[in-house]
A = this chain, B = another copy of it.
Amino acid sequence: MLQRRNSKQRSVIRDYLWGRIDHPTAEKLYNEIRVEHPKMSLGTVYRNLMLLTDLGEIQAIDVGDGITHFDPNPAPHAHFYCTKCHQVHDIHIADYDRVKEMFASHDEGIIERCNVNMIGICKDCKSE
């Protein structure tokens, strides 16, 4: 594997994503980071998010809205995409691995990942 250096930018990007549950896009992170770090470039944000994803440190979420969202939690879990507020929410269920098993038994391929996305109106938007 390639050699890595701990750049300041990478650590800033990691810090800005760490602990969040709102699944920001690369551009959203960039705009937030830019306030404190005006020299940070969008390309660097993309490059590092992709790198951290490849390293398995974070995960990239594709819910079908055409924009990649990022999740600091690399553990497999489902997501909910609200078509009204365009936010991505986590859905944690105890036996997520069961889903993979349900489909693995019906397909002879090698399943590496299992992505589950619910699309609809989230509970916050519903009650408005």
Interface, chain A (partner B; CB < 8 A): 60, 62, 64, 78, 80, 82-83, 89, 91-93, 98-100, 102-104, 106-123, 125-126
**Cβ contacts under 8 Å, A92 to chain B:** 106
Pick the contact of A106 from B83, B93, B125 — CB < 8 Å? B93
Pick the contact of A120 from B83, B99, B112 — CB < 8 Å? B112
Contact B120 A91 (CB under 8 A): no
Smallest Cβ-Cβ distance to A94: which chain B residue? B106
Inter-chain pairs besides A89-B107, A110-B121, A114-B116, 8 sampled, C-beta below 8 Å: A60-B64, A80-B103, A80-B107, A92-B106, A103-B118, A108-B123, A109-B125, A112-B121
Q: Smallest distance from the beta carbon of A94 to chain B beta carbons, Å?
A: 9
